[in-house]
């Protein structure tokens, strides 16, 4: 097992990464305050792993909420079912929530913990690659609104993140690829050597080689932990983690939540960001090609949906959380491994990028 730390002073927390960590109760127990534990999962993950986690919680007063599965259920109605379960079970302020599942379960559960009785602790047990390398770390929680992705939420850090890489054995190939999009993101924004490592090891990752996956998860979590520790509330550098997300969120909302997976939309968004960077002369054409090839080898889409036009993109992008004073800022690339956050891009070049699918 490897342990990383998200260094946030008194709110610092560990990320445990290893095989067969479900079944080691000592990794969870010390982060649970009080006796009452609400375990939140969904109808796909619960039959696979819920009982194992409940067995780790012997000695606590436990209750469970099983959510419907899908991005289209990441909304206020689903959130409310968690509040109802907490109240029906008379859970008080001293309770702890545990999220067992992918990023959807993690984001909703985290937001429930952030707001139930003005805030209670929660732990993350991520079971998708995407959740293990990104969403379970860093404390962004929330739900979607019909008009915009993740528009309602809060920053609320977990007390610990427990990553059992064996849970990936049951994940299908499309979801594994979606997680690889966020892994590739870290190489693009922060670590050119890691990007090159991914180029060398993509076949091993796709074949689910445990050593390769373990390294990719550790390196991704280490980069995310470093960025979050430097800028927890996204007043600067953390926005780099949104490479491809402004385009990607528009694709997810524009095509209907759940049609494109989050990681697929981010993959296409990252290529759009690379394309726009190259149109400004900031990024070499060769770097754009390498990005496209790596995303495609991961099994990810790189062309925006034909059903979306420039106007729809622009409308959806105008409510991005990085808009300040009415001005859209984008995460673009100055070089391989070097992201920048800028509002200083040319509108006619953005138009060209937004039309690259037509
Ligand atoms: P997801 O939570 O929908 O999970 C994908 C699918 O895999 C679901 O059907 C789920 O039931 C299933 N699943 C989960 N674990 C499994 C397992 N071990 N075996 C078999 N099936 C399993 O999607 P995701 O890709 O994990 O997360 C995407 C969400 O994360 C989006 O809502 C996105 O906005 C959010 N996100 C949040 C952050 C953050 O910082 N909070 C970062 C990135 C993404
Ligand atoms: N996934 C973006 C962030 O955590 O900031």
Atom of ligand 1 nearest to the CA of 110: 41
d(CA 101, CA 124): 9
pTM equals 0.97
The angle that helices 192-206 and 173-190 make with each other, rounded to 10 degrees, is: 170
For the chain, percent of residues with pLDDT exceeding 70 = 100
Short-list 333, 356, 357, 329, CA closest to 345: 329
- Distance from Cα 79 to the centre of ligand 1, integer Å: 16
> What residue spans of the chain are helical by DSSP H?
26-29, 51-56, 76-88, 103-115, 129-130, 173-190, 192-206, 210-230, 245-255, 262-279, 285-297, 310-317, 347-354
Max Cα-Cα span within the chain: 62
d(CA 222, CA 46): 28
Output the pLDDT for position 322: 77
CA dist 288 → 66, 205, 250, 338 (Å): 42, 21, 21, 13
30 Cβ neighbours under 8 A, 6+ residues apart: none
pLDDT mean across residues, the chain:
96
The residues with which 161 forms a beta bridge, in sequence order, are: 15, 124
Report pLDDT digits (tens) over 213-264. Answer: 999 999 999 999 999 999 999 999 999 999 999 999 999 999 999 999 999 9
Atom 1 in ligand 2: which residue has the minimum CA distance?
241
347, burial (CB in 10 Å: exposed 0-12, middle 13-18, buried 19+): exposed
d(CA 289, CA 52): 44
pLDDT band at 204, cuts 50/70/90?
Answer: very high
CB of 78 within 6 A of ligand 1: the answer is no
Range of weakest confidence among 3-17, 203-217, 306-320 = 306-320
Q: Residue 357: is its pLDDT beyond 90?
A: no
CB of 128 within 6 A of ligand 1: the answer is yes
CB of 232 within 6 A of ligand 2: the answer is no
Cβ atoms of 93 and 35 closer than 8 Å: no
CB of 131 within 6 A of ligand 1: the answer is yes
d(CA 234, CA 171): 31
Looking at the annotation, which residues are catalytic?
118, 140, 182, 224, 234, 238, 242, 245, 249, 262
- HSE at residue 82, side-chain half, CA atoms within 13 A, is 32
CB of 239 within 6 A of ligand 2: the answer is no
Atom 5 in ligand 1: which residue has the minimum CA distance?
102
Q: How many CB atoms lie within 10 A of CB 94?
A: 12
Instruction: Find the mean pLDDT for residues 283-299.
Output: 97
Q: Which of 73, 108, 128 to mutate to test the pocket of ligand 1 (most atoms within 8 A of CB)?
A: 128
The domain ranges of the chain are 2-170, 173-354
**Per CATH, the architecture of 2-170 is what?**
3-Layer(aba) Sandwich (3.40)
Report pLDDT digits (tens) over 175-190. Answer: 999 999 999 999 999 9
334 Cβ neighbours under 8 A, 6+ residues apart: 277, 282, 283, 340
Report pLDDT digits (tens) over 38-57. Answer: 999 999 999 999 999 999 99
Q: What is the dotted CATH code of the domain comprising 173-354?
A: 1.20.1090.10
Short-list 290, 322, 307, 178, CA closest to 251: 307
Report pLDDT digits (tens) over 302-324. Answer: 999 999 999 999 999 998 777 88
For the chain, percent of residues with pLDDT exceeding 90 = 95
Kindly tell me the sign of the dihedral angle through the C-alpha atoms of 253, 258, 259, 264: positive
């Amino acid at each position: 097992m490897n342990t990383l730390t998200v260094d946030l002073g008194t709110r610092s927390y560990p990320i445990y990464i290893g095989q067969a960590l479900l079944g080691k109760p000592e990794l969870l127990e010390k982060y649970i305050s009080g006796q009452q534990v609400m375990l939140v999962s969904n109808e796909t993950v619960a039959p696979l792993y819920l009982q194992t986690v409940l067995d780790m919680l012997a000695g606590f007063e436990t209750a469970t909420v099983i959510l419907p599965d899908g991005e289209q259920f990441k909304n206020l109605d689903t959130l409310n079912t968690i509040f109802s379960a907490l109240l029906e079970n008379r859970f008080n302020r001293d309770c702890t929530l545990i999220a067992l599942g992918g990023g959807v379960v993690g984001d909703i559960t985290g937001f429930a913990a952030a707001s139930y009785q003005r805030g209670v602790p929660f732990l993350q047990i991520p079971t998708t690659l995407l959740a293990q390398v990104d969403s379970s770390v860093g404390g962004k929680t929330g739900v979607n609104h019909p008009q915009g992705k993740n528009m309602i939420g809060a920053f609320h850090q977990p007390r610990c993140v427990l990553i059992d890489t064996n849970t990936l054995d049951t994940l299908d190939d499309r979801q594994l690829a979606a997680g690889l999009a966020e892994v590739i993101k870290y190489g693009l924004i922060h670590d050119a050597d890691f990007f090159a490592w991914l180029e060398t090891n993509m076949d091993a990752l796709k074949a689910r080689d445990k050593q390769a996956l373990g390294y990719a998860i550790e390196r991704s979590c280490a980069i995310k932990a470093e960025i979050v520790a430097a800028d927890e509330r996204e007043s600067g550098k953390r926005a780099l983690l949104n490479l491809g997300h402004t385009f990607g969120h528009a694709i997810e909302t524009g095509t209907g939540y759940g049609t494109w997976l989050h990681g697929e939309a981010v993959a296409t968004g990252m290529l759009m960001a690379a394309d726009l960077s190259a149109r400004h002369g900031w990024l070499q054409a060769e770097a754009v090609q390498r990005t496209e090839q790596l995303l495609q080898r991961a099994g990810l889409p790189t062309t925006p949906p034909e059903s979306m036009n420039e106007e729809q993109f622009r409308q959806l992008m105008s409510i991005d959380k990085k808009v300040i004073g009415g001005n859209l800022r984008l995460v673009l690339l100055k070089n391989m491994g070097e992201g920048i956050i800028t509002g200083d891009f040319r509108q006619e070049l953005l138009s060209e990028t937004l039309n690259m699918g037509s």
